[in-house]
Amino acid sequence: MAVIKLASRAHKRLREIIRSSSNAHEIKRAQALLWLHMGQLVEKVAQQLGVSRRTIERYVKRYRDYIDAPVAERIREGRHTGRPPKQLQVARRVIQQAWPHDPQRYGFRALVWTVPMLRCVIQRRTRQAISLATVRRALRGLRYRYKRPRLVLALRSPTWRQAKGGLSAG
């Protein structure tokens, strides 16, 4: 006997999700529900997908709990709860304060902000270490653009004197 009985529309929609979705977790949930509908045992489905029996039971419970929602939403992951990213919030706040001002105001010899400079400003203000990745994440979240530092020194052109209006060396 099947653990779950799917309507024909739901069955068809789950097959579409398996074929077209790019989210591996959604595909896994859809496969589990289809296999259970076809009569496979929960233990067998769990083994095939590499998850625990309890995980499969949670998939079925979520699918049944959201009966009024569309099939795609019923197999989607729930909201992840966890510790809020405190450093990211602090970084955003400091960046919003510093961004409108010139980096020279903060003691840098540059005209444009870079990630390492913003990191330095954040560390000075908070007295806590912060990673460059967190600063980049904060900038992306604020939708700010920034300059990447040049890693190789620019070489002068051999004709730089002519470009400046001087005589060529001779």
Q: Are 43 and 68 in the same domain?
A: yes
Q: What is the pLDDT along the chain (170 residues), one digit of tens a residue?
A: 567 888 899 999 999 999 998 889 999 999 999 999 999 999 999 999 999 999 999 999 989 988 888 988 888 887 777 888 899 999 999 999 999 999 999 999 988 899 999 999 999 999 999 999 999 999 999 998 876 666 666 677 777 777 777 765 55
Q: Are 37 and 69 in the same domain?
A: yes
Query: Is 19 a member of any domain?
Result: yes
User: At CA 132, angle to CA 129 and CA 135, rounded to 5?
Assistant: 90
User: Rounded distance, CA 91 to CA 119, Å?
Assistant: 8
Identify how many contiguous H helices and E strands the chain contains and give both numbers: 9, 0
pTM higher than the cut 0.85: no
Q: Domain span at residue 61? A: 8-74
Q: Are 30 and 66 in the same domain?
A: yes
Could you give the number of structural domains in the chain?
A: 2
H-run or E-run covering 59: helix 53-65
Query: Is 159 a member of any domain?
Result: no
Q: Are 35 and 61 in the same domain?
A: yes
